[in-house]
Amino acid sequence: MVFAGFLESAATTFLLLIAVRYLQAGAWAKAAVAAGGNLGLLLSPVVVSWVERSRLPATLGASRVLAVGGAACFLPALFPTLWLFVPASVLAMATSSAVVPLMTHVYHDNYPADRRGKLFAHSFMLRILGSMAFAWLGGRFLDLHPGAFRWLLVVFGVSFLAASALVRRIPSQPLRDSGGDHPLHALHFVREDRVFRQTLIVWMFMGFANLMMLPLRVEYLGNPRYGMAASASEIAWLTGVIPNLARLVMNPVWGWLFDRVNFFALRASLNMGFALGILTFFTSDSTTGLFLGAIVYGISNAGGDVAWGLWVTKVAPPGRVADYMSVHTFFTGIRGIFAPMAAFHLCQRFSMPVLGLGSAALIAIPSLMLLPEIWRWKNRESGSRNPARP
């Protein structure tokens, strides 16, 4: 989890910062770097299908995919050109997210249901600590050595290889072969499962708005066009250290709540937190407003870590957690690829406050749509997976 934290700081801050400040990337290149992890989510059903057919333990399959990410990081470290940096960054971040359904399967098998959120949150704290520590150290390093960004890529490559070696040591079983004849066969669960389908639709609205504004934090702070002209360490603090400190404090609380409260009510409250964080961050040009926005985003993101990573364990049939999660990550990948593209092109036409207001409004829509599901979830029968299912 510590090495995963290093890689999270790469995805949220440093790869995009390198593209913006040191390689003078254009809108398409910045959007591609920002969308790299989401490409992996889009391809996650293919990875799950490959592991199912290969009869590999889930962690062994994840280990092999992560090793590819390590190799991808070393290439632009050796040859730091934009044309190589962009595809290598995309490939590296894609491998880190493509293994998410496999790891969700591992959490489901190794964590008891009544303490799954709590245990997941506690382990995730190590990831947050790693991300927070590296965000601060990496930012300081770039301030002192602006032209030495290649060494950060080396660290990311080593982190991938270390994560690969450690993941394969976790106990896991081969996935149950679902018998599908193509990698996207798990999508049929969307048609068959009403609650699963409804939740995915709600998540699409909120997720698109949130993922659109996430990379614009670095753009807003780092591009002189917006008048911030923040240093690398200041950007790292506002996009990495402060949000992760808030995540660290609130992560156990959200894990406890995940095990005990109405999931859809939890999701609605998180939506409102993301909307408030976006509004506070992008409608303020003061240090206080930026700090408050970063804190609110971190608090909401702490709950999002748990809810996003584990929610399918509440609705998926036994043995189908990886399949359900691969569908969830597939649709996350779709919005995650198009959201940064929309963001970097819309910011050429509209101000950041206008984009922030629009995104907050888009997040409010699914919060209202969740109200019927909150009521149905309250009426579920004891021990039932989902009584609202037709």
- Position 389 scores a pLDDT of 41
Burial (Cβ within 10 Å: 0-12, 13-18, ≥19) of residue 38: buried
Angle in degrees, CA 270, 203, 351, rounded to 5: 75
2-174+184-378: CATH topology is Growth Hormone; Chain: A; (1.20.1250)
Boundaries of every domain in the chain: 2-174+184-378
- What pLDDT does residue 380 have? 59
What tokens does 360 get?
């907050």
pLDDT, one tens digit per residue, over 151-167 is 989 999 999 999 999 98
49 near 185, Cβ under 8 Å? yes
Report helix, strand or coil for 140.
Answer: helix
State pLDDT tens for residues 303-315.
888 888 888 888 7
State phi, psi for 123 to the nearest 5 degrees: -70, -35
The whole-number average pLDDT for the span 228-250 is 82
Task: State how far the Cα of 110 lies from the Cα of 357, in Å rounded to an integer.
Answer: 42
The answer to whether 388 and 380 have CB atoms below 8 angstroms apart is yes
Indicate the pLDDT class of residue 63, thresholds 50, 70 and 90: very high
pLDDT in tens, 186-195: 788 888 888 8
Nearest to 264 by CA among 368, 164, 341, 110: 368
pLDDT recorded at residue 390: 34
Q: In the predicted model, is pLDDT for residue 232 greater than 80?
A: no
The per-residue pLDDT for range 90-111, each reduced to its tens digit, is 999 899 888 888 888 888 788 8
382: pLDDT strictly greater than 90: no
pLDDT at 164: 92
Q: How large is the average pLDDT for residues 366-388?
A: 64
Greatest alpha-carbon span in the chain: 61
What pLDDT shows up at residue 182?
66
Contact present, 215 and 375 (Cβ < 8 Å): no
- Does residue 334 carry a pLDDT above 80? yes
